[in-house]
Structure 1
Amino acid sequence: MEHTIVLSDTKTIDPRTQSEILEGAGARVEVLDEKTEDAVIEAVSDADGLIVDSITPVTARVLESSETLKVVGRAGIGVDNVDLIAAAEQGITVVHVPDYCLDEVSTHALSLLLACARNVPLHDRRVKEGTWDWREGRPLHRMRGRTLGLAGFGGIARRLAAKVRAYGMEVIAYDPHVKATEMDHYAVEKVGFEELLDRLDYLSVHTPLFEESRGMFSTGEFERMSDDAIVVNTARGPVVDQDALLAALEAGEIARAGLDVLESEPPDPEDPLLAREDVVVSPHTAWYSEESRRDLSRSVASDVAAVVNGESPTNPVDIELPWV
């Protein structure tokens, strides 16, 4: 029996690789370019599987509209665009790829932190403008002996903790779903949320986006941080309140920010954050390498093919462990 798989992700994954795996498993692939709720509903009306990126809406209305849908494959780690409760109620399996870009995102978070800590983008701009003056980027501080605070302690944060060990920083982490004994393996101290804010010099955000984490870092949180704190976000844009971040930077309540994700992607060209010299922005590219793209394609396609053929997937989403 031939299965139909709708592919609503032609940017971050390789549709040719996916098609080879899915067609090899007896599936017919239909590519959906329009990423609206109505378009997805129409596409999955008689589909067995759906593979999506981070901006394709997989709402309760989408999931309830199909009597044939067996599996949703999220081509990535986060599943905030998929209604997991509705999927469970409809008996639809949700799979994702939790480990394909751990090295890439942790390296990118470190890159943003280093760029901000040494003010590299500002120096680059000044030199190219004709100014050769080391004082332009002041003040800078030695990283050794400073404290890196991790919000969330899943796979990416663990890789980052290992990578910063050579910099001589203390690492603390807040994650209500990870035990202190687990953090001990990485020489990381488990702390409460308020203690995280009070002690950190650098913040790296690694929490997925759920209602409990939306706006997790806002006015009150920035006020508690030291005035020379650096905020790095490679998780999801809405975890950080962008208006509050802008206000904190303008008021000197924090020093700099490195952002790979924003509340709105792509951002409005007039977004005031983009004009600031104390903000470094990259276009949601932390996940990317040629190797991660290949691994992502193969993993999500293989799991979707397994489910439509009545087999167990390797990476089903556990609704009870949303942060890990």
Structure 2
Amino acid sequence: MSDPRVPVVVNQLGADVREALGRFGARLHVLDGQRDDDTPWDWTGGGDGRADIVLTGPSPAWRDAPRVLPPSWQAASGGGPSWVHTVSAGVDGFPSWLLRDRLVTCGRGDSAAPIAEYVLGAILVRAKRLDTLRPACAQSWLEGAALVKDGHPLTSPEGQVLGLAGFGAIGRAVAVRARAFGMRVLAWRRGPWTPGDDDGVEPVATLGELAARSDHLVLALPLTADTTGIVGEDVLRRARPGLHLINVVRGDLVDQAALLRALDRGDVNFATLDVTSPEPLADGHPFYTHRSVRLTPHISWSGGAARQNGVRRIVDNIERFLEGRPLRDVVDAARGY
């Protein structure tokens, strides 16, 4: 049994996090765990029945966790940890009981830069046709050059309108990069705008209006009960001609059947989807082969300093926890983000 005066941390995030926690020495007792275990909410096999802090992230086991509170999280067993941190920005992949009666923090903004780069990459690939103008021989080289020269020129993001559905860390990172390419940036958010939020960004009143005015519509909203399926038939029928839909957050924001119909009708010109529901899609799903869909396997978060940012956040918040100071990036359980 550990010293009851020393906080017990269950680390389900790997060796680099454990190494970073080493700086706290005897101020913490660290147990190793795995978020991909069948029951990541039960660490009693680690030699200690209690845990004050759990460091974890999304996994199939958490997604499919039981709806009832596990015994180790019930009041008779101490009520579970007082603080849970997830490396993901969203908490939709966790059971509702995890969010109750404790502090929950998240990795809000840790992957904003690589996700924003992915968004601009998707826009540039479309504009410059890098994936289609690939000559395999001298003749196709000449044909491609003639095609661009004689009537089908490349396009440019400069002067185009980028619409952001959501204006948190990801939306802000996308806006900065889009404006550097000379794009006009519009944004719709569910919460109120405050002074300084809209520097260089034009607020719009509704998601439908955003779709109607955008050349590229980027989904950067948290997934909650209110936003599930928010991009449906009504929004898609209002799409500006030639709209490019980009989803980098959660597949369940989109009514996928409605999106397929919109693509087939031509209401939406193209969709870049890094996320779907479920993940992966079943074999044979139309998104795999649709000529107007680019599908990637939920990898937009990868790259840059995302992992290092996450580790630094954990260390900073543990220092705050030990000193009794407020933690950063606390999730509002009522709002779901």
TM-score by length of 1: 0.82
Higher RCO (Cα < 8 Å, 6 or more apart): 1
- State yes or no: 1:238 paired with 2:252: yes
Give the counterpart of 1:70 among 82, 87, 106: 82
RMSD of aligned residue pairs (Cα, Å) = 3.2
Contact 2:33-2:40 within 8 A present in 1 as well: no
Q: Secondary structure at the match of 1:160?
A: helix
- State yes or no: 1:268 paired with 2:272: no
Matches for 1:82-161 after TM superposition, within 5 Å: 82=94, 86-87=97-98, 89=100, 91-124=101-134, 127=136, 131-132=140-141, 133-134=143-144, 135=147, 141-161=155-175
> Amino acid of the residue matched to residue 11 of structure 2?
L
Alpha-carbon spacing, 1:21–1:212, altered in 2? closer, same or farther (3 Å) = farther
Residue by residue over 1:65-117, the C-alpha shift from the partner in whole angstroms, topping out at 9 and shown as x without a partner, is 41241111011222222456x4564x311011223222221111111222233
TM-score by length of 2: 0.80
CA distance in 2, matches of 1:153, 1:184: 9
Give the counterpart of 1:248 among 252, 262, 276: 262
CA distance in 1, matches of 2:329, 2:295: 31
Alpha-carbon spacing, 1:186–1:321, altered in 2? closer, same or farther (3 Å) = farther
Contact 1:7-1:50 within 8 A present in 2 as well: yes
CA distance in 2, matches of 1:251, 1:140: 24
How many residue pairs get matched? 316
> Amino acid of the residue matched to residue 300 of structure 1?
I
Alpha-carbon spacing, 1:306–1:83, altered in 2? closer, same or farther (3 Å) = farther
Larger Rg: 2
Q: Which runs of 5+ in 2 are unaligned?
A: 74-78
Q: Which residue of 2 aligns with 1:195?
A: 209
1:63 is displaced (CA, Å) by: 6.9
Select between 234-243 and 132-141 the one with higher mean Cα deviation: 132-141
Q: Which residue of 1 aligns with 2:76?
A: none
User: What is the identity percentage for the equivalent residue pairs of Structure 1 and Structure 2?
Assistant: 23
- State yes or no: 1:292 paired with 2:296: no
Contact 2:35-2:58 within 8 A present in 1 as well: no
Alpha-carbon spacing, 1:313–1:27, altered in 2? closer, same or farther (3 Å) = farther
Residue by residue over 1:32-75, the C-alpha shift from the partner in whole angstroms, topping out at 9 and shown as x without a partner, is 25354xx1343376322222212334776347741241111011
Contact 2:273-2:296 within 8 A present in 1 as well: yes
Q: Secondary structure at the match of 2:84?
A: strand
